[in-house]
């Protein structure tokens, strides 16, 4: 196959205001309690790390938003479009997050994940995150209930996976 016919790999780029509607659409497809348009806009306005993964046709495959702290980065949100799941895009996004955190001299990555989100927890564990705590009643749940979050951490003192 010639180089001209080979598919180009997805590309990572900073999220812009023009991307918010597509991000919110993916949020609504992926989560029972998605971030609102206002949540995404506020994150961009606050200068959080906000990155997209696009396919060769410019469609958003996934994204993440993360907040820089003192010596640490906190992953606030990550999602891969349902039609693009299972293709390694979450790994690509985590790799980018890890690189960005290291470039900002972070020593630790943090995240919360629903206790019921076994698929994500396994992904994070395979990536090297450790389960280090529990945040009780952290997430909204059905019937006005709350769900616990598992607090996970990844030390950046070793190379990222």
What pLDDT is attached to residue 3?
53
In sequence order, what are the residues at sequence separation of 6 or more whose Cβ sits closer than 8 angstroms to the Cβ of residue 55?
Answer: 10, 61, 84
Q: What percentage of the chain exceeds 70 in pLDDT?
A: 94
Taking the C-alpha atoms of residue 131 and residue 151, their distance in angstroms, rounded to an integer, is 6
In a domain, 54, yes or no: yes
In DSSP notation, 61-119 reads: EEEEEEEE-SSEEEEEEEEE-GGGTTSSHHHHHHHHHHHHHHHTT-SEEEEEEETT-HH
pLDDT at 9: 87
In a domain, 37, yes or no: yes
Positions annotated as catalytic residues are 112, 124
For the question of whether the overall pTM of this predicted structure is more than 0.95, the answer is no
Residue-wise pLDDT tens digits, 108-134: 999 999 999 999 999 999 999 999 999
State which residues form the domain around 59: 11-155
Question: Is residue 137 assigned to a domain?
Answer: yes
Report the C-alpha gap between 67 and 47 in whole angstroms. 8
The larger pLDDT score, comparing residue 143 to residue 48, is at 48
In a domain, 15, yes or no: yes
Domain assignment present for residue 161? The answer is no
**Structural domain count, the chain:** 1
pLDDT in tens, 22-75: 999 999 999 999 999 999 999 999 999 999 999 999 999 999 999 999 999 999
Residue 56 counted as domain residue: yes
The CATH number linked to 130 is 3.40.630.30
CA neighbor of 92 nearest in space, from 118, 130, 55: 55
Residue 74 falls inside a structural domain = yes
In-domain check, residue 3: no
């Amino acid at each position: 196959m010639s180089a001209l016919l080979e598919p180009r790999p997805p590309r990572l780029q900073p999220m812009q205001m023009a991307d918010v509607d597509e991000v919110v659409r993916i949020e609504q497809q992926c989560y029972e309690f998605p971030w609102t348009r206002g949540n995404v806009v506020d994150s961009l306005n606050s200068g959080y790390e906000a990155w997209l993964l696009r396919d060769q046709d410019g469609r958003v495959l996934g994204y993440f938003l993360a907040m820089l702290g003192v010596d640490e980065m906190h992953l606030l949100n990550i999602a891969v479009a349902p039609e693009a799941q299972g293709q390694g895009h979450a790994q690509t996004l985590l790799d980018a997050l890890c690189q960005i955190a290291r470039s900002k001299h972070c020593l630790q990555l943090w995240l919360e994940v629903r206790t019921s989100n076994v698929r994500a927890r396994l992904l994070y564990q395979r990536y090297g995150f450790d389960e280090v705590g529990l945040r009780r009643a952290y997430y909204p749940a059905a019937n006005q209930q709350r769900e616990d979050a598992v607090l996970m951490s990844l030390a950046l003192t070793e190379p990222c996976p």
